[in-house]
Structure 1
Amino acid sequence: MTIHSKLALPAIAALAAFSHSGSSAETQVQTPALLERWKSGMTLREQIAQLVVIPFYGDLPGPKSLEHKRFLHLVSESRVGGLILVNRVQNGIARNAEPHEMASFINRMQKAANVPLIVAGDFERGASMRVSGTTKWPHNMAFGAARDYEASRAQGAYTAEEARALGVHWVFAPDADVNNNPANPIIGIRSYGENPWEVASHVRSYIEGARSAVRPVLVTAKHFPGHGDTAVDSHVGLPRLNVAASRLEEVELIPFRAAIDAGVDSIMTAHVSVPALDPSDTPATVSHAILTGVLRKELGFQGIIVTDAMDMQGLTKILPGGEAAVRAIEAGADVLLMPPDPDKAIAAVLKAVNSGRISRQRIEESLERVLAAKFRVGLGENNLVDLRNISRVVNSPEPRDCAQQVAARAITLVKNQNDILPLEKPASACHFILSESRLGQSGRKLAELLAKELPGALWRRFTPATPAIELSKSAKEAEGCKAVVIYAFVSVAAYRGNAALPGGYPKFVEQLIAGPVPVVMVSLGNPYLLSSFPRVAAYLNTYSTAPTSEVAALKAIKAEIPIEGHLPVTIPDIAPQGAGIQLSARLQ
């Protein structure tokens, strides 16, 4: 089938410099020479290895450890093309990397590499999504609620600066998914909203901001051709986007067209089947019809196509690792992200080329794109991270203030029965924090603020493991308060399967609603939570679990900031997209 573009989409030449860089004639002459030097003497296996990006945790394993030896093997012997920073999960909690330790590891690997490594990061919420001590941006949906495209542009620029200071060249952001399915368990607040044109404007602004930085990064629109209208987490299964081609034209593809028009460097695939584009139900990541037929030929994209992580079950349940790698290259992907066994993936693609299943030209096309991208971010000059520069750049006041302003402007009041807000005396209310984990950080900042700013108030921080008897006791205590404020943390996360309140929380909330005291619910995350608890007296959305949103939530409850956000999504049968009750701040 044919997808007709509604925007002019200029092709991007493989060796094109960033649009703002104004490369000189001397640089243009030197570019091919550097690429030829990188390629000279490369075996076919090494060319294929350059298309592979492997994960690292950001810590610094001992030089004699098995982990260190494994990395040295993959970098200096297998000669993979890049690294991607991922969280280390311990006791069910994702642990972020420490900046200097992470940068030191990158330097160690760059020294071991024959061709400089490109380093990537899932920095949808800036570097704070993977690295401690960096600017704590709220989730994308907060930007959608604030209706602030300039803030998206600023986030792109600030994220580029922090990323480069940390040694990261390739940012897997912005998210171009249109979240129009309330049951989506994995996109949700990662999306800017449900209006495709508004999502497209944020995507374009972020890309332009990132490309305007002094040391720009490669930016990535994801997850093509769209993951917003799905109800399955592709980490655990294969979602199916079962909509007509005309709907794809009018919704899912609009942000990707905008990204291409803005000069996005790469596009990440989705492990999603889209029958309207490929009737075989093949996941987009390994679909020639989708990656080559639609993305390359119809949309005119000539940048890097990178797979989503190839260790996700949306792909591994269908294809073994080696065959998945071969099928992805056949489909048109340039970079294989996190194959379960990198050496097996390289060997499988090598075998496919030697057998004639994949042409050498096909490998060379992807290799040119990858090496050209490395050149564009300055690799080949000084590949090492300046450790002294990290503290001068990360979490500086300007981006920190910008992030806090977005979090504040995003707060959306959806329901305010009997004008219960603003609370007459916030200190006379009970404040209950429903955190997501005993060991995690959600709600800790809020608890600290409640203790400091409302010293006379009754407050509790619970976890999903809090015994039911303790929750019931607190519900009884609440009867002596003037109001109850519930701060409910519900983020989207891989393998969770839904974005509902966990554990005994739902029963606890219903106990509170059934009591004699009016209940105010603040959702820090899932914007659709009101659908589960429609009888609360008042309901606010922050769209994020970030500490900046915790600060903004309490300020809104205390009426220290105006409430002026608008819903970027529809809450079915309750409130349409764009709704939002406006409240002024209380005069101090």
Structure 2
Amino acid sequence: MDKKELTSREKRRRRRIRSQIAAYLTLVIAVGALTTGAVIGIKALIQHMNQYNDKVAEALQEAETNVEHETAVIESSTAEDVTQEAEPEDNPLDELVDALLQDMTLEEKVAGMFMVTPESITGVGKAVQAGEGTKNALTENPVGGLLYSSANYQSDNQFLEMMTNTRSYSKYPLFLAVRAECGDSIGFGIESTAKASELTDTDSVREAYGAIATKLAAFGINMDLAPVADIVSEQGNSSLQGRTFGSDGATAAPLVNAAVQSLQEREVSAVLLTFPGEGAVTDGKVSKSLEEMKNSDFLTFQSAIQNGADCIMVSNVSAPEITGDDTPCSLSGTMITDVLRGTLGYNGIVMTDMLGDSAITARYSDGDAAVAAIVAGADILLCPADFSKAYQGVLDAVSAGTITEERIQESLYRIYRVKYKNTLNNVQ
């Protein structure tokens, strides 16, 4: 087979898988319109979503079959020709995200980088249901994720209905997130477990976080801001006492990995807290050097990165011995791009710490903080004090050329690869 024929087959194969992905996205939009435009009960909606998931699986499986068929035809040529013309296989996940981003407006892309509380976009004091207010809020503000607290939970049925309705109101897939660490005050109807500091082997960690993840997944929660990957001594950060897996990075690393795996095996993305490590913070600062951190606090993060952690939260503390100034780590390009992505080799989602915290609001406007986080390399902007101002600040920065649309898309690639991976894994 000559070069022209092989190239033409490859092009046809790529066009076909793109068509299959486009068909999938059309289905997503259609389902969204159906569920948004009608008031339906929980049982009916769950049945509808099950049918939808079957169709998703069929579309993705057909795309995979087409890839295998075209590959088999190519391989029927001579070994020498195939070797000369071989190209890396397309990743169906990349094709899926490509097609999605092509249909998104700039405003939708920017909103997709934010994770906020339901109260911040609906204006209610405490969200305990999802109805027209939530529907209108998500239409106007198509954020990428919502963070719920135990105050939003009243009963299993109530919380399930709220999550189910919320998903149906969003044009694009959401991260529905909570903070649910092991311990005696987890919330969300989850039975108490031992504290992290009391868990000394991977089996006990797996059991504790397996129970948490099973409950969360039943609600439709797909992200947990846990586990705590910090290490802390008895004289360390008092707010972390009982929440960490010990004071030694090498000993804590396999326990952190066990927690991450237990969550992600049940399709709940883990968010490691809190890089670069808050175990020895004094007056909002980490005083260790980069080399000291590499040999202690970084060990848990490095191990979890190697084992596929979906997301890492970067702290609002400063680390002047590493960054050279007192910029919060969550807004520092040195910490996020140079150290976390460069030195540690992390390619997953980077989430800021709460941008509404006083460590940020005392020094930055909502818009400036959001822009600084993106420029530094963050992907998810967590809970600014005023979402509207932060969102508009990013749009203004794109208009001014401070941030490019391509930079926004880099983050959305990382975000949507995680959002879609479980669907794709289920049909491979």
Q: TM-score range by the shorter chain?
A: 0.7 to 0.9
Aligned residue number for residue 210 of structure 2: 157
Out of 110, 114, 120, the residue aligned to residue 52 of structure 1 is 114
Aligned residue number for residue 139 of structure 1: 195
- Alignment partner of 1:194 is 2:256: no
Cα offset, 1:128, TM superposition = 5.9
Contact 2:129/2:158 (8 A) holds in 1 = no
Cα offset, 1:362, TM superposition = 1.1
| 1:287-339 CA-partner distances (Å, limit 9, x unpaired) | 00000010011111000001112111122112121111111111110001111
Aligned residue number for residue 312 of structure 1: 357
1:358 partner letter: I
TM-score, scaled relative to structure 1: 0.54
Contact 1:179/1:228 (8 A) holds in 2 = yes
SS in 2 for 1:125: coil
- Alignment partner of 1:257 is 2:302: yes
The total of aligned residue pairs comes to 336
Out of 117, 126, 142, the residue aligned to residue 79 of structure 1 is 142
Out of 252, 276, 289, the residue aligned to residue 244 of structure 1 is 289
Contact 2:148/2:177 (8 A) holds in 1 = yes
2:181 partner letter: E
Aligned residue number for residue 164 of structure 2: 107
**Cα distance in structure 2, aligned partners of 1:111 and 1:126:** 32
Aligned residue number for residue 406 of structure 2: 361
SS in 2 for 1:191: coil
| 1:190-246 CA-partner distances (Å, limit 9, x unpaired) | 1111111111121122223333x3x422112110000111245xxxxxx10112222
Structure 1 segments (4+ residues) deviating >6 Å: none
**Cα distance in structure 1, aligned partners of 2:347 and 2:339:** 12
- Alignment partner of 1:374 is 2:419: yes
| 1:6-39 CA-partner distances (Å, limit 9, x unpaired) | xxxxxxxxxxxxxxxxx97459865345434433
**Cα distance in structure 1, aligned partners of 2:127 and 2:188:** 11
- Alignment partner of 1:288 is 2:333: yes
SS in 2 for 1:190: coil
**Cα distance in structure 1, aligned partners of 2:395 and 2:247:** 42
- Alignment partner of 1:205 is 2:258: yes
Which structure is larger by alpha-carbon Rg, 1 or 2? 1
Contact 1:140/1:191 (8 A) holds in 2 = yes
Q: Which has the higher contact order (CA 8 A, sep 6+)?
A: 1
Contact 1:173/1:219 (8 A) holds in 2 = yes
Aligned residue number for residue 394 of structure 2: 349
1:52 partner letter: F
**Cα distance in structure 1, aligned partners of 2:318 and 2:236:** 18
SS in 1 for 2:391: helix
2:386 partner letter: D
5 Å-filtered alignment, 1:437-516, equals none
**Cα distance in structure 1, aligned partners of 2:149 and 2:379:** 21
Change (3 A) 1:182 1:100: farther
Contact 1:160/1:217 (8 A) holds in 2 = yes
TM-score, scaled relative to structure 2: 0.73
Aligned residue number for residue 168 of structure 1: 221
SS in 2 for 1:276: helix
Contact 1:124/1:173 (8 A) holds in 2 = yes
Aligned residue number for residue 266 of structure 1: 311
**Cα distance in structure 1, aligned partners of 2:419 and 2:184:** 20
**Cα distance in structure 2, aligned partners of 1:51 and 1:149:** 34
Cα offset, 1:158, TM superposition = 2.9
SS in 1 for 2:319: coil
1:102 partner letter: F
Q: Can you give the 5+ residue segments of structure 2 that lack an aligned partner in the other structure?
A: 1-59, 68-89, 120-125
SS in 1 for 2:162: helix
Contact 1:321/1:340 (8 A) holds in 2 = yes
1:148 partner letter: D
SS in 2 for 1:161: helix
Aligned residue number for residue 93 of structure 2: 31
Aligned residue number for residue 273 of structure 2: 222
2:354 partner letter: A
**Cα distance in structure 2, aligned partners of 1:314 and 1:52:** 19
Q: Which has the higher helix share?
A: 2
| 1:98-153 CA-partner distances (Å, limit 9, x unpaired) | 32212211222222111121211111127962312x2212221111xxx2221112
**Cα distance in structure 2, aligned partners of 1:333 and 1:137:** 32
**Cα distance in structure 2, aligned partners of 1:29 and 1:369:** 14
Cα offset, 1:155, TM superposition = 2.7
1:117 partner letter: L
SS in 2 for 1:178: coil
